[in-house]
Structure 1
């Protein structure tokens, strides 16, 4: 027994300073997390959580995560709120306005994060109800190999979001995601239609340009094939395609990001813990440990591997092929999340009336 105790003490002494492995071994129970992150990122995070919390049980058929587009998850959450209990214990969704909404509804459990002000370069809830954990970046994408061919046809590749919707030479030649299912696309629409940007006229421009509302993967394929000239898309989708091709030994020269001259749209997506009164497994104690882990260096490096930007103030590393995060912050057009929270239905209705109802006409 003494020999075993001595071995355990030796192992603890070998752990790096600040390691939480010993503490996290006591984190137990089941855990379900709603998330809109791409599945390959969730797979990485799932594996890391199993290693960090060996006695915590994945609560969704062997996984900690339930995947869905943010806007679809929000609709699901609204339905579950009618019964007062969500089908999850934590949330990692793209659209920060939901954090404001759930806090106001008293659905969130405060989680302390020491030195959050010095740790994070994006806003967080001072009561600890939500923190940014990853940063998505909405940009434009195009095919550099075809730029001259497009020019010869009288089509100019847009260098701004404004031109993307206003230049009629692009009619039928642009694409973007669906804000009714994608939270990041919804955030982009909310930003671009703010009165201090382009207003609802922006939606009319998209409709007049007969924007194709398709998935990110379809947009990338059509850009490369020359079916469309440009797309509004998440930077991470482009960066992943470029990295996958490079890893396969066939680097792409027919795909690139445009960081619009009128600004990028950053979405600092949040992590939230649902209070025991409203959560699936009533396991807020475990959720707090997991939420704090998401704001660890190990977790933030996984975020970078997922082609998203870190929320850490001192993190100099950027996703593969991207540019400096602080430079993007300086170029950020911004989103009024409080306005999004209170105007969600209005924004969705405007999209449906002006853009969606004109599809295929």
Structure 2
């Protein structure tokens, strides 16, 4: 750790002049004034807008109460798309209530970061997060990992080996996918597919009779019911379904699973930066990460933990997944509308 960043961690005002030169590789930078860095125990209220499952939030509650006894945490919980809509409405009105956002829409974070909406902060725990899954300028970082894989209904038909297999003749009319026009995770998958195979892949899926099912729950239902034999689904949904006896099998695609980071960020308008930062620290702590794995069936960003329900841990997950790159983030951010339009045209024919 550099001498500059050690001074910064100590809250010395003189270090703040050079803050812009600090990056996560060497320290945990913060935009907060030096006076707030050294304040006492966190207290007051914190509002978190999140797409994390309610049962995960319920499991986190005792840990937050233990670690932050004087902080009252309020949650607005909804899907990533609904969280984004509420946030945009509040921004338009000039009154953002959220102190912290924790959703699974990587492109939203990059857009808001570029607009200067976030308070720079890197928890000491963020140094364990793979660099591909955080912003090196400390504007946001992943706290949980969802993963798009293939699922296959148990039976005589051999499973697909890859996403590319879904346009093969064998899967004519027997595949379900999510709708990137309404599902954030399906959109992220579509961005990766567009990057790897081009927009023509959507037309090929349509030509082979792929069913656009809406969200992940709808995809799962169609595979379980036998309406289709295979689908593109979040690993966490597949694991939970298998645990309750669902007749499906999980297939790790040979062309790479799609990891969708659930980021966390602090708004620069937060009224309680001390408590907001402390909450982020808890989410990234070993205890917080263990709850995310155990209750949410998601992968932790801490490589000390195994994957959910016996799955491989973080290191192997990253080797089995397609890489997040600056070019891919740019594609989703600047060409997202074009990708959605290409998909829409393909499936409206």
Q: TM-score, normalised by structure 2?
A: 0.80
Write out per-residue CA displacement over residues 298-323 of structure 1, whole angstroms, 9 at most, x where no aligned residue.
Answer: 1110111111111113x241100423
CA distance in structure 1 between the partners assigned to 2:182 and 2:252 by the alignment: 24
CA distance in structure 2 between the partners assigned to 1:290 and 1:265 by the alignment: 28
Q: TM-score, normalised by structure 1?
A: 0.78
- Quote the offset at 1:94 in angstroms: 0.6
Q: Note the 1:208-219 alignment, pairs <5 A.
A: 208=207, 209-219=209-219
Write out per-residue CA displacement over residues 186-232 of structure 1, whole angstroms, 9 at most, x where no aligned residue.
Answer: 111000101xx101012112222232323333333332332210110
- Quote the offset at 1:137 in angstroms: 0.7
Write out per-residue CA displacement over residues 21-63 of structure 1, whole angstroms, 9 at most, x where no aligned residue.
Answer: xx999322222211112222122223432332222223xxxxx
Structure with higher Rg: it is 1
Contact 1:141-1:257 within 8 A present in 2 as well: yes
Closer, same or farther in 2 for the Cα pair 1:47/1:210, shift >3 Å? Answer: same
Match of 2:292 among 303, 310, 313: 303
Write out per-residue CA displacement over residues 281-340 of structure 1, whole angstroms, 9 at most, x where no aligned residue.
Answer: x22221111112111001110111111111113x24110042343222112123412321
- SS of aligned partner of 1:32: strand
CA distance in structure 2 between the partners assigned to 1:225 and 1:339 by the alignment: 35
Contact 1:72-1:180 within 8 A present in 2 as well: no
Contact 1:141-1:238 within 8 A present in 2 as well: yes
Closer, same or farther in 2 for the Cα pair 1:45/1:143, shift >3 Å? Answer: same
Correspondence 1:176 to 2:177: yes
CA distance in structure 2 between the partners assigned to 1:66 and 1:238 by the alignment: 25
- SS of aligned partner of 2:118: coil
Which of 207-216 and 36-45 deviates more?
207-216
- SS of aligned partner of 1:43: helix
Contact 1:178-1:213 within 8 A present in 2 as well: yes
CA distance in structure 2 between the partners assigned to 1:176 and 1:40 by the alignment: 25
Closer, same or farther in 2 for the Cα pair 1:81/1:207, shift >3 Å? Answer: farther
- SS of aligned partner of 2:335: helix
Correspondence 1:198 to 2:187: no
Match of 1:255 among 244, 248, 252: 248
- SS of aligned partner of 1:72: helix
Q: Note the 1:110-259 alignment, pairs <5 A.
A: 110-114=120-124, 116-117=126-127, 119-123=128-132, 124-144=134-154, 146=155, 148=156, 151=157, 157-164=159-166, 166-194=167-195, 197-208=196-207, 209-243=209-243, 245=244, 251-252=245-246, 254-259=247-252
Q: Note the 1:1-361 alignment, pairs <5 A.
A: 26-58=41-73, 64-114=74-124, 116-117=126-127, 119-123=128-132, 124-144=134-154, 146=155, 148=156, 151=157, 157-164=159-166, 166-194=167-195, 197-208=196-207, 209-243=209-243, 245=244, 251-252=245-246, 254-276=247-269, 279=270, 282-305=271-294, 306-313=296-303, 315-335=304-324, 336-355=328-347, 357-358=348-349
- SS of aligned partner of 1:135: strand
**Aligned residue-pair number:** 306
CA distance in structure 2 between the partners assigned to 1:177 and 1:46 by the alignment: 31
CA distance in structure 2 between the partners assigned to 1:189 and 1:111 by the alignment: 30
Contact 2:182-2:214 within 8 A present in 1 as well: no
* CA-atom RMSD in angstroms: 2.3
